[in-house]
Chain A
Amino acid sequence: MRVTVRLFARLRDIAGAPDLAREVPSGSTAADVWRTLVAEFPEMARYDSSISTAVNADYAKMTTALSDNDEIAFLPPVSGG
């Protein structure tokens, strides 16, 4: 199935793009997609324990199972205000 990965701040800089289209196995979770990203961009590994995720613009857990055409966002620690 196909998902769109949205990246922000430092993660976007590391990937060199704000979004990536990725083909992932059916039943993949947010964590699965994160692991493939880290394999592709090893510099992202340092966010393993600080990342948050959102699916279709709602906060989600890393264990969330994805569906075809989902938008999955990975959020580094936030710094608004």
Chain B
Amino acid sequence: MRPVAVTPDRLDLEPLLRLVADGGGHGAITSFVGTVRDNNVNRRVTHLEYEAYEPLAVKALEQIVDETVAQWPGIRIAVHHRIGRLAIGEASIIIACASAHRANAFAGCRYVIERVKQIVPIWKHEFFDGGEVWIEGATANPTDEAARLEAVRRACA
């Protein structure tokens, strides 16, 4: 089990929890599961299709893990993102985060999802009743320090 992955396979949180729990020094493990919602800005969503620039997406996730460890030393992170067609309710991303204490475990988990939304080259194609649209969020700039600090701020809010 790799700590970072982009995969068309169904996501399973349990192996990630085991991976970050390795060793006994952790007093807290948090997780985040992003799921496909059945509505978006008043549209009835039928399903999503995720597309990635896979080699760069994996590198970007690895960068995020490194940033998280630099910000909260001793933290252990695993993050898997799914691509392809996803039905309503399915998990698109799972994150597990282990730390000695709960504050850093919660912060690290939140930081990872905020950074994923900022820089990882993955795109969400939304299909809804009556049409489809590519969702476009942030311009990916992995060296934008202001964006990184905003993710830290949200993580610690």
Contacts and interface: CB of A to CB of B under 8 A. Distances in A.
A8 B136 CA distance: 12
Interface in B48-102: 50-53, 55-57, 59-60, 81, 92-93
Interface string B135-157: 11111111100000000000000
Given A73-B53, A75-B53, A76-B134, A52 B117 contact: no
B139 A52 contact: yes
Contacts, number: 92
A78 B137 contact: yes
A77 B137 contact: yes
A9 interface: yes
B26 interface: no
A58 B134 contact: no
A54 B142 CA distance: 11
Nearest to B32: A81
Nearest to B95: A81
Interface string A40-71: 00000000001110100111000000000000
B134 A80 contact: no
B123 interface: yes
15 contacts: A8-B53, A8-B123, A9-B134, A50-B136, A54-B53, A59-B56, A59-B143, A77-B138, A78-B117, A78-B122, A78-B136, A79-B117, A79-B122, A80-B57, A81-B34
Given A73-B53, A78-B123, 19 more contacts: A9-B134, A9-B136, A52-B140, A54-B53, A57-B55, A58-B59, A59-B141, A59-B142, A75-B140, A76-B136, A78-B120, A79-B122, A79-B135, A79-B136, A79-B137, A80-B52, A80-B92, A80-B124, A81-B81
